[in-house]
Amino acid sequence: MNKPRYRVLLVSSQPIQNTAALRLMAVHPQLDILVAYCSVPEAQTLHTSSLQQSSEFLTQAAFDIPWLEGYPWRYIPNRSPKPNLTKPYGLINPGLVNLMSEYDCCVAYGHAFVSFWMAIAAAKLSRKPLFLTTDATYLEAPEGGNWKIPLKRQFLPALYNQVADGVLVPSSASRHFLESLGVASEKIFLTPYVVDNERIALTAAQTDKAQIRADWGIPEDAVVAIFCAKFIPRKRPLDAIQAFAKANVPNSYLVMVGVGPLDAELKAAAEQLGVADRVKFPGLIKYSRLPEAYAASDLLVFPSEHEPYGLPVNEAMICGIPVLVSDRIGATYDLVISGETGFAYPCGNVEKFAELLQELLSDRDRLVKMGKMAQKRMETWSARENVEGLILAIEKHLNPSK
């Protein structure tokens, strides 16, 4: 018997960098999707500027992978008098309302803009199942604004329990967070946050590791830790340099991939700590070539203090290297199996960070074994699991007898 096919409208504020799940949805026999974008870089140069200034990414220019290919999408004109991606009124896309009538259900990637509430209202008025998404793992805001915490504590459970028919989360950390707020567990569906596993693995496998290390000025027989994030305070790049200096493992190197306002401070710290010759700053690396950097390294270090998910964990593990991460990274709970695929340490505890770093950088054979286990773990954390999670959520409401 043929399985039912579901028409799904996915509403997003802007294109995202990782579209592997969308491309799989586009060819899945049970799904007929449309991604409705409330802004696209080509549509309004202001949006491009806003994207480039985002603190989430190294820089938009580093992402050279096509965003808008391989799946159906449409730009819904933005009627906001002041278009932007930072204020609720920055996106007002009334075209979403009529569009909802053509679909069986709606997935809204957030609730921060007026446009999302238009989509939410349209779904509820037309009695179509509404699924909201969140990657939140704590109430604190990354750039202050903690006065909102009491409001969030009241608002979020009401939104997810009473307005949404289901909540799609990218990690178990997000699930546990929502449950701690009182969101009903049966409303929460895991749709893993994923990258293009196949492309990344292929690029990593084809990497000339010796050449990459030569380009960095690192000996082929050295053991290499890599940091990959924007140089901003909440990513805690200074922790990586301090821990590396404390670990003080012979013939070890630290590669700091990225740019940002802390650039000069980090280079000065490497000098002051006496490790400037073993801490390399290659600058930005194009996203398509990032797997080469991971593959030429032995360990990812990721000390961020506010990282609801943390895609570098996925990317590094796909490339066959283990990870050493802070316990504030959402991906930790699903992907970092202590002693097997990596380790987690208390965020900001540089002493513990250094202790684990010394232990790992001193044992190359162990790193290799852990890297293989990390790669194996990623075989079941892919676009396939993301799409399966979405279909499970949809079927609960559109095909409850299943």
Report the CATH number that the domain containing residue 174 is assigned in CATH. 3.40.50.2000
Give domain status of residue 52, yes or no. Answer: yes
Per the structure, how many domains does the chain have?
2
**Tokens at residue 290, please?**
């990032």
Question: Whose CA is closest to 194, among 348, 374, 315, 26?
Answer: 315
| pLDDT class of 64 with cuts at 50, 70, 90 | confident
Q: Is the dihedral of CA 96, 185, 127, 129 positive or negative?
A: positive
Q: Distance from CA of residue 136 to its chain's centroid?
A: 11
> Which tokens in the block code for residue 67?
């965003």
> Are 190 and 221 part of one and the same domain?
no
Could you tell me if 251 and 364 lie in one domain?
yes
Does 154 share its domain with 238? no
The answer to whether position 117 is within a domain reads yes
Closest CA to 353 of 271, 244, 230, 268: 244
Q: Are 222 and 244 within one domain?
A: yes
Same domain, 65 and 208: no
Distance CA 19, CA 27 (A): 13
Confidence of residue 212 (pLDDT cuts 50, 70, 90): very high
Q: What is the pLDDT of residues 323-363, one digit of tens each?
A: 999 999 999 999 999 999 999 999 999 999 999 999 999 99
Tokens representing 39 are 């802004």
The reply to whether 1 falls in a domain is: no
Asked whether residue 93 is domain-assigned, the answer is: yes
Residue 36 lies in a domain: yes
pTM, 2 dp:
0.92
Residue 333, amino acid = Y
Mean pLDDT of 42-69: 54
3-class DSSP string for the chain: CCCCCEEEEEEECCCCCCCHHHHHHHHCCCEEEEEEECCCCCCCHHHHHHHHCCCCCCCHHHCCCCCCCCCCEEECCCCCCCCCCCCHHHCCCCHHHHHHHHCCEEEECCCCCHHHHHHHHHHHHCCCCEEEECCCCCCCCCCCCHHHHHHHHHHHHHHHHHHCCEEEECCHHHHHHHHHHCCCHHHEEECCCCCCHHHHHHHHHCCCHHHHHHHHCCCCCCEEEEEECCCCHHHCHHHHHHHHHHHCCCCEEEEEECCCCCHHHHHHHHHHCCCHHHEEEEECCCHHHHHHHHHCCCEEEECCCCECCCHHHHHHHHCCCCEEEECCECCHHHHCCECCCEEEECCCCHHHHHHHHHHHHCCHHHHHHHHHHHHHHHHHCCHHHHHHHHHHHHHHHHCCCC
Q: What is the pLDDT of residues 68-100, one digit of tens each?
A: 999 999 999 999 999 999 999 999 999 999 999
Mark whether 314 and 394 lie in a shared domain: no
Q: Are residues 222 and 140 in the same domain?
A: no
Question: Is the same domain home to 43 and 184?
Answer: yes
Q: Is residue 56 situated within a structural domain?
A: yes
Residue whose tokens read 């008025």: 125
Report how far residue 123's alpha carbon sits from residue 117's, in angstroms, rounded to the nearest whole number: 10
Q: How confident is the model at residue 400 (pLDDT cuts 50, 70, 90)?
A: confident
Q: Is a pLDDT exceeding 60 seen at residue 389?
A: yes
pLDDT digit string, tens, across residues 137-166: 988 876 666 778 899 999 999 999 999 999
* Maximum separation of any 2 CA atoms in the chain, in Å: 69
Q: Does residue 82 form part of some domain?
A: yes
Q: Do 211 and 87 share a structural domain?
A: no
If asked whether residues 184 and 262 sit together in one domain, one would say no
Q: Is residue 225 part of a domain?
A: yes
Q: Give the type of residue at 138.
A: Y
- Per the structure, the complete domain to which residue 215 belongs is given by 197-379
Q: Are residues 119 and 228 in the same domain?
A: no
207 and 315 both lie in a single domain: yes
